[in-house]
């Protein structure tokens, strides 16, 4: 799924996903796990 598609579906800025992917690459961690963690943190920070 592309960052733009993610933003369309859940309202997540694609910059958040790009940043998470860069962090994962720099740390040598699983990209999907870092992106999911960043999304969970973002969603938790957004008032409902």
**Domain tally, the chain:** 1
Average pLDDT for 19-45? 83
Q: Which residue has the higher pLDDT, 29 or 13?
A: 29
The angle at the Cα of 17, spanning 12 to 20, to the nearest 5 degrees, equals: 135
Q: What confidence tens digit (pLDDT) does each residue in 3-21 have?
A: 555 556 566 677 777 888 8
pLDDT band at residue 28 under the 50/70/90 scheme:
very high
User: Residue 26's pLDDT is what?
Assistant: 92
Residue span of the structural domain in which 38 resides: 3-45
Q: Name residues whose C-beta falls within 8 Å of residue 10's C-beta, 6 or more positions apart in sequence.
A: 39, 43
Predicted TM-score of the model (pTM): 0.53
Q: Name residues whose C-beta falls within 8 Å of residue 31's C-beta, 6 or more positions apart in sequence.
A: 20, 21, 24, 25
């Amino acid at each position: 799924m592309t960052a733009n598609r993610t933003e369309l579906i859940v309202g997540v800025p694609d910059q958040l996903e790009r940043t998470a992917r860069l962090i994962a690459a720099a740390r040598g961690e699983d990209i999907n796990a870092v992106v999911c963690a960043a999304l969970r943190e973002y969603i938790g920070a957004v008032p409902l």
